[in-house]
Every structure is written in structure tokens, then in C-alpha cells.
Amino acid sequence: MKRKFFIVTFCIFLTWCLTISAYSAQKDQKNKKPSKKYYKKLSMPDYAPGQVLVKYKKNIPAARKKRGTKLAGIKRTLKKVGFKDKIHLLQTNAQVSAKDAIKKLKSQNIVEFAEPNYIRKLNYLPNDPFYNLQWHLNNTGQTGGVADADIDAQEAWDIEKGYSFPVKIASIDTGIDQNHPDLSSKITPGYNFAGISQKYANALRLVGAYDTYEFAQSIKGTGQSLTHIGLYITKYGSPPGNIAISVRDTLDGPDLASATIYRSDVRNTVQEVYKELNTPVVLNSETTYYIVFKATAANRNRFYGIAQNYSGTNYYVPDIYRDGSIFEFNGSGWENYSEDDWYFRTNPNNNPRDDNGHGTHTSGITAASTDNNSGVAGLSHGATILPIKAADSAGYFYSQDTIDSIDFAVSNSAKVINMSFGGPGFSAAEQQAINDANDAGVVLVASAGNDGASTLNYPAAYNNVIGAGCTDSSDDLCWFSSFNSSVDVTAPGLKIYSTMPTYPVEMNSSGYSNNYDYVSGTSMSAPLVSGLASLVFSRDPLLSPSQVESFITDNADDLGAAGRDNYFGYGRINAFNTVQNIDLNLIQNPSFEMDEDLNGIPDSWQGSNLEAGDGRSSDFAQEGNYSVKITGNSTKLKSVKQRIQVSGNAGDILTYSGWNKNEGATTAGRCNTALIYFNNTDGTRKYAGYLFFYRYTHDWLQLSKTFVAVKDYSSIDITLGYFYQTGTTYFDDFKLLKQ
């Protein structure tokens, strides 16, 4: 006997759902400040500035060489290169470009050739077999779109793949398939805040090999306590009794909580019956719980049926039922013809098993295993995934679960949080959790919504969240992408090919396949932004969340109206432009934000002659919340110092810059300077120069200077000093960049 249960599911809050919802207009606005330009936007040069490679002609007298190179604006020979030392690397004077020097050297007729010191780049291509389907990473027009309407991921990987400083990305979603071959090696231990995860329908008396079948039953929990049981159920005929529900931590153990579904609650068509337990059950993280249903004896003409939480009735499960048994699975649910129990087994809370499919798909977009000759490529190769299940199988997120999930992500060292979900309504509690995460140095990204309208969706509309809209393979706005003040950037989100669970899940009922499939929505756009944020952090882990956002927005490809607009935000993200324009600061803790031992001296720095009141200070700050403060002493040289463990070669060009502010200084005092020394590999120590800040009172002032290493070196020392002064000075945001 096989009856079909016709089930209609409601629109859920997961933003992959392409149903347009008409929410009421919201007054809440995302009051974000304009993107701050922390760095000058640069382009990777084709050759090293101020350097020339030459091969002199034979038999040219030394005096003629000297005269010719001087006329060409050459300052010194940096080194001889090549096996036979026939090629020389020359450095030009500061005011002479490499191009001009080459032209003049050739005009002196003393060189066989003179050319720039070219910079070459990798030409990387991942070996994942489905990479050609991932147009969002490298668009050649393979899907009928416009070539290069992508995020330039392939070009970005020549610079940064995410291994320089591997970042943990928290995915607050429906969970993850922890055994997926393209994800398993990237997953760190997560958590399940949805209360009940994937359910196993296991008829106690069902015999044979098919005694367990996985499907997403509508059993709901809220947070870490199970408070309600929801059941998709119907009846045939008039079953004689009610259904007793009990929750147990051992199958044959005592009831921890109970509820009753009355015969009158159940209709002859499938509907959800939602019952509150007589007492909440705290779901311990290591424990499996059993939801047991017991009905009075019936027969094949009078029975209850439990249905899958699927829309449609065509989900095919071969050989799962056994005709003639007291339980049958008819393709849509279990039918109980006896007084025997049904039961469902829950996952422990430390198991974020994906029973929907959405979380597995978004995780693959961000950080699927790459170069493993399997499946797809993720954007951030070096990133790990922290899966946090905050939604039940139908995709509902409760605020308290979202808040707990954000806190869990921060507590477990995530640097990026992806939130591919949303809905209307501002929550002060959620905003507070987001602010706390932002203050902890975490970047949060959320999908802007699939309403195809101007309705605000949260969490994308909160402050301190990067809101992601959707573009297609022609760089047009996706028809469903929400457009409003929450959109900071856009990213590809139409027909994105990524990982899917390897077992049956809710999304199968909508026609999606297991293992891999295409899915559309701003939910697919957000993880690309999150993946890019992790590449930015990998490139420079000391950046603040606002700096990371600035790099992403400042380097996006502007689409639509010039500048920021409510449709494309600042534009479609460009991974290559973003990572190539990040200056690699060699200085640790350059803005003095970190002081883990709370001794007043910023981490990675050492103090010399400092007194009470000196050290990390929140009085003033050029960047972030802190600077380093030194009070003057007319008899002392006071400073903070740092040794930078970086090696290099003669001819290396380094740019040194920083900010200084003086309060109450006197012109009679000495100076406040930022010194730089090279510790050479031959054992010598070379003073290279300084930044000389004005000795009188002044507001924040930035100075910058370029230095060239004369010898090979093993480390660099920098000193920020306030010498024999009587006022107070502040240093902040120092950078040492190696070209």
C-alpha cells in the first residue's frame, strides 16, 4: 500500500530561495560611514622602480663606464648577477626613472643591452575537474555570458591563495556535509545551535537491511534547549487514540519531556502539528536524543502517517519500504499500522550536520579543497571552515541562535563570518553581537536578499556588515537581487556550481542534486565576498575589519552609476585588484592595537627609558583606537623599538612611513624621529636614515621615505624616539614596505 502525501512548504528565510516576498517598508537604515581610503590604490608594476639590468660592451674602459653611468643618472651598482657576473644590476638616482636611465645608457654606446628589472607573475590554474564550470572564478564566456565578467580569482591566486596566513571562516548556515570529499579536509569542529539537526527516521519494528532512512523531519528546537516538536502528519480513517510524544536520552529510558498530539489535531491532509513540550530539554553537546511517538493500535484502514518536510511527492527512494510489514515508507513518509513506536534520533549539538544543503553549497564556494583533482575550487585555498548550524532543515534562523553562533565564531578564532540568510526587522540584540564581533577584529558578510526590491534585509543591513548583492555572468544585476542602502558590493550569484551533501537533504525535493550542483541567490554571492576577505587577511593579518572592507570596496569593478549606488554598491568584487593593492607591512602591531599581557607596552615592541604614563595610549589615534605615547624628558632619550625578522639583498628598496602628533612640545628641545637600521649578513649594522618629525606642537603628520639596502641583510631595526624633549608625542600607523 503506497499513499502519496502532498506537502506544501512555505517560503523560508534562506536567501537562495528565489521567491519574491513583499515585506513592509522598514525605516531602519544601514548608517555606514563612507569607505575610508587607508591606502593609496596601487597597481603591481611591470618592473622594479629605479633598477636597471645592463651588460657592458667588451673592452670599455672603466673611466668611460663611470662617466657614462653618471650621465645616465645611475647612483650605484647594486650587485652582479648571473653565473659569469656579466650582468650588472644598477640603481638610479631618486629623481631618475629606470626608463630614462635606460635611454641615456644606450645613447652612451657602452652597453650591449640595458633593460628594466622585470617582475614576472605566476600563471596558476587549479586541477579541479569542474573548475571550467565555475564561471564566477574565471569567465571565458563558457556559460554564454561575457568573458571576464568574473572576480578575477585566477589572476589573484598568482599573488595570494590564502596560505600566507590561513584564516578560519565561520559559516553560520544550515550546517555542512562533514564527509564531503571536497570539504572534509577543510573543516574545523563546529556546533549546532538549531537544537535538532538531521533526523533519522528509524521504525523500531522494521526489519531487513533498510532499518534506517535519513530525512529531514520537521522537529524543531530553539537554541540549546528543545522546547517544541513540529510534525508533518496526516491520518487515514479514524485512528482510535492520540499520539504520545516523549523525549529520551536513551531509547528505552525515562521520558525527559512529553507532549500529546490529539486525534482532533490531525487532519486527513498533511499539515504541521506543532506542540510544546511539558518542560524544556537542555540538549547536551555530546548526547544523542530520541523523539518517540506512540499511537494506539490501528489497522491498514485507520492509521497515522508522518510525512517528509519536502514540497512535492516525487522524491524517489528505492526499496526503502517493505510491503506487508507493520511499517511502510511510501516515498513521502512513514505509515504506522500498529501500536509500535516511531522514533527519530537527533544529532548531538557538536555535530553541525547539514540536513538542508544550503550550508554545504556556500562553504564550497568559499573554501572547497582546491588542487586535489576532485570536484570544484574554492576561492580561499588556505582557509578553513568553521561550520555553525543555526537553521533547522527548513531553513529557519532564530535570533538567539544567530547571536550564539556569532559569539561561538568569535570565541573559536574565526576572522570572517559568512551569513547567507536574512529577513526583515531590525534586532538590537543582533546588532550588538555584530558590533562585538567587529570590535574583536572579525569581518562579517551577509547576503543582501532575493526580494528583487528595495526592502532591507538583516543582517546585511546592520552596521559593521558587508552586504552582498548578486551579478550574473554578463555583469548585470541578477533579477532577484535586493537593491538598497545595505548593498556594499556585488558578486556573482547566478548558477554557481559548488558542493552539495552526498546524502538526501531538503534541497533534493526542489530538484537539486547531491554531490555538486548549480544554485542561485545572493546567498552564493556572500561567500565569495567572505572568501575574498580571508585572502585579504592572509595577505595582511594585522588589518582591521574596516580596512579589509575598504580594500574590497575600493578595488571593486564599478558597475551601474559611477561610484556607490543601491544596486551594485561600490561594484562587483575583483579579487586580483584587491590582493595586489595590499601593502605588505613588515612591522608587527604597526598601530599599537595589541597588548595581550596588559603591561602597557604594545606587543612586538620594546621600550627604552619609558616612564609612568608612557606606552600604549587611547588619548589619540590616527588609526584604530590606540597609539604609542611618550612623555618628554629633557635629560633622556626615550623610545620604543622593534626588530623585524626579514632578510633581503643589497639593492632592496624599502619605504618607511608613519604618523606623529606632538602636544606641548618646545622648539628648544631636541627631536622626535623614526630611525631605521639594517643588520647585515656580514655582521655589520648600517644606519640607513630616519623620518624627522617637527619638534614643535602639531597635529597628526605623516612622513615617508625610501631606503635602499647597501648589503645583504638578515633583519631590520626601527626605533621611534622622543629625544630630550619636554612635551608629549604620539606615534601611530607605521609601515615598512618592501618593493
Catalytic residues: 319, 358, 523
- 619 φ/ψ angles, rounded to the nearest 5 degrees: -60, -50
| Residue the block writes with cell 541567490 | 521
Q: Which helix (H) or strand (E) holds 103?
A: helix 98-107
**Alpha carbon separation from 289 to 72, 196, 210, 212, 247 (Å, rounded):** 81, 9, 21, 16, 7
Q: How far apart are CA 594 and CA 89, in angstroms?
A: 40
Q: Which helix (H) or strand (E) holds 365?
A: helix 358-367
Q: How far apart are CA 190 and CA 314, in angstroms?
A: 33
First to last CA, the chain: 75
Cis peptide, bond prior to residue 352, ω within 30 of zero: no
Count CB atoms within 10 A of the CB of residue 264: 7
Q: Where are the beta strands (DSSP E) in 215-289?
A: 225-236, 243-248, 257-261, 271-282
From 480, 486, 491, 450, select the one nearest 466 (Cα to Cα). 486
From 330, 329, 351, 359, select the one nearest 342 (Cα to Cα). 329
Cell numbers that stand for 547 in this block: 580596512
Residue 454 CB partners (closer than 8 Å, separation 6+):
482, 483, 484, 566
3-state secondary structure of 355: coil
b/e map of 347-364 (b: 16 or more CB within 10 Å)? bbbebbbbbbbbbbbbbb
701 forms beta bridges with 660
Q: Which helix (H) or strand (E) holds 361?
A: helix 358-367
Q: What is the DSSP annotation of 61-95?
A: -HHHHHHHHHHTTEEEEEEEESTTS-EEEEEE-TT
The alpha carbons of the chain give a radius of gyration, in whole angstroms, of: 32
| Contact status, residue 510 vs residue 504, Cβ threshold 8 Å | no
b/e map of 550-583 (b: 16 or more CB within 10 Å)? bbbbbbbbebbeeebebbbbbbbbbbbbbbbbbb
79 forms beta bridges with 89
Q: How far apart are CA 361 and CA 374, in angstroms?
A: 16
Q: How far apart are CA 252 and CA 665, in angstroms?
A: 80
In this structure, which amino acid lies at residue 298?
Answer: A
Q: What are the counts of helices (DSSP H) followed by strands (DSSP E) for the chain?
A: 9, 34
Q: What is the DSSP annotation of 575-609?
A: HHHHHHT---B-SSSTT----TT-SSSPTT-EEES
